[in-house]
Amino acid sequence: MARRAQRRILPGYGLSLGMTWLYLGLLVLIPLCGLFLKTFTLTWEQFWATVAAPRALAAYRLTFGASFVAASVNAVFGLLVAWVLVRYRFPGKGLVDALVDLPFALPTAVAGLTLTSLYSSNGWYGRYLEAAGIKVAFSSLGVAVALTFIGLPFVVRTVQPVLEDIDADVEEAAATLGATPWQTFTRVIFPSILPALLSGFALALARAIGEYGSVVFISGNMPMRTEIAPLLIITRLEQYDYAGATAIAIVMLVASFVMLLAINLLQRWSYRRLETRPG
């Protein structure tokens, strides 16, 4: 009887689990193992000289710094876009909703060329910005702009369904009890959407750290100034330094994993705090 009780209602558990492990093994585990095995061909001194070279350190700073800035900007304005799409009805709402997904569909190289032409010294935006002393194209600011462009949908599409699930009665009850609109947002709505906002931030950050196509044109690719880490990896590969390229990739991989782990722990803490909140 106990054995019969342990039988699963839905069939195919063993087959689906096996296919899952096979799929993840072929696409994720084996390539990552190959990455580490290639790096292990270096001695510790060679590995450290590669990953701690001044050019590599400058590329790390630009990549992670610009990615963090872009994800932070998207967290603020992505929340605003999601709020407008959920809470208001206005002409062209469907068009705005579709435009959010454009960075998903647009090839990254096309996005990079478009942004470069717009923000260059003779572009539509760039001519006025440079007249005001703000250089975007071929600078670290241009890298942040490109990473902001490709990361926006992650925040909007993560926060939007959570906002739709929040019952308007909660806001009306807060208003009835005397809360101001700001108090209603900060004490009622924001704690509910904070875990989703952190998820969107993490996704945008992860996407930005590995981005290459949209950044390679607008950055200018100047070593020690506007060179991102993915481009440095490509440069190593073009020089047939495969072990050096994998060493830099390992540093990027470990740093990204640590950052995402920290964000996930913060997200889990937010969920627990939300569940234990009175009321």
* Closest by CA position to 244, among listed 61, 55, 33, 25: 55
CB 224 within 8 A of CB 54: yes
Stretches where the chain sits below pLDDT 70 are 1-10, 274, 277-279
The pTM of this model reads 0.86
pLDDT of 1 reads: 46
Is 125 buried (19+), middle (13-18) or exposed (0-12) by CB count in 10 A?
middle
pLDDT of 194 reads: 87
* Closest by CA position to 147, among listed 227, 75, 214: 214
CB 211 within 8 A of CB 147: yes
CB 67 within 8 A of CB 149: no
pLDDT of 7 reads: 65
pLDDT of 107 reads: 87
| DSSP-derived 3-state class of residue 239 | coil
What is the rounded (10 degree) CA torsion for 104, 108, 144, 194? Answer: 20
CB 107 within 8 A of CB 213: yes
Residue with tokens 């945008």: 204
pLDDT of 25 reads: 92
Taking only the tens place, the pLDDT of each residue in 151-181 is 999 999 999 998 888 877 777 788 788 788 8
CA atoms of 271 and 116, how far apart (whole Å): 40
Taking only the tens place, the pLDDT of each residue in 102-115 is 888 888 888 888 99
Count of CB atoms within 10 A of residue 164's CB?
Answer: 11
